[in-house]
Amino acid sequence: MKRLSQYFLRGLLAVLPTGITLYLLYALVVWSEQLALTLLRPLIGDFYVPGLGLLLAAALVVLAGFLVSTQATARLLNWVELPFTNLPVVKSIYTSLKSFADYFAPHRREETSQQVVILRPPGAEWEAVGLVTRHHLAGLPPGFLPGERVAVYLPMGYMIGGYTLFVPRTWITPIDMSVEEAMRSSLIAWMAAGAAPRPGTGAPAPTPTATEPPPR
């Protein structure tokens, strides 16, 4: 019975990610198809091609991106954002989510030079993987410790959130990892089996001990 439960758990862990992904894709397709039927039925009547909902959803997203890129729409969007940026509670939630989304936007990546780093204080035996979100203290109010310091965001596992630490630049070491990969690994507490290290970036080979003679 114990072995059967182990097989069931292993099978569940193997099937669950695929099942959830397929379910979300199915829900997206159903929702977009229903939206397309609602919007296009008065125009096209009974004529309908399966998959038109996805095309409509993609077209709406592209149109929204194009409109937001224009100055006129950007000014209009600023007016639309006024209620969200002035209400006490809504302001904190909206501005936090907007800043977080802007950080991962393509047009911001070149400006902010996103970088995945290892945070390791001098003399410490522990280290943490984080994202550099600020490369200097210029523009911040007085009160921070002097020196060349950077802001490092440490994401938390199994939840949305984390901590931002202002540390000396000498405490961080850049690593060859994308922001998306670092965030995904942090979300699951780095439990997923990693790929083989890239040439030149992997950990050094262990030093042979006295009981383990070096290879010839």
128 and 165 within one domain: yes
57 within 8 A of 76, measured Cβ to Cβ: no
Say if 198 falls within a structural domain. Answer: no
Task: Indicate whether 102 and 131 sit together in one domain.
Answer: no
Q: At what angle do helices 2-44 and 52-69 cross, to 10 degrees?
A: 80
Task: Report if residue 213 sits inside a domain.
Answer: no
Share of the chain above pLDDT 70, in %: 75
Residue 201 domain flag: no
Quickly tell me which residue has 């000498």 as its tokens.
Answer: 170
What domain range is 108 assigned to? 88-112
Relative orientation angle of helices 71-80 and 52-69, to the nearest 10 degrees: 100
Give the pLDDT score at 96: 67
**Model pTM?**
0.47
124 occurs within a structural domain: yes
Residue 199 lies in a domain: no
**Residue-wise pLDDT tens digits, 64-109:** 777 767 777 767 777 777 777 777 777 777 776 666 666 555 555 4
Residues 6+ positions from 109 with CB-CB distance below 8 Å: none
| Together in a domain, 10 and 59 | yes
Do 106 and 157 lie in one domain? The reply is no
- Residue at 207 is within a domain: no
d(CA 154, CA 131): 7
Q: Is-contact 132 114, C-beta < 8 A?
A: yes
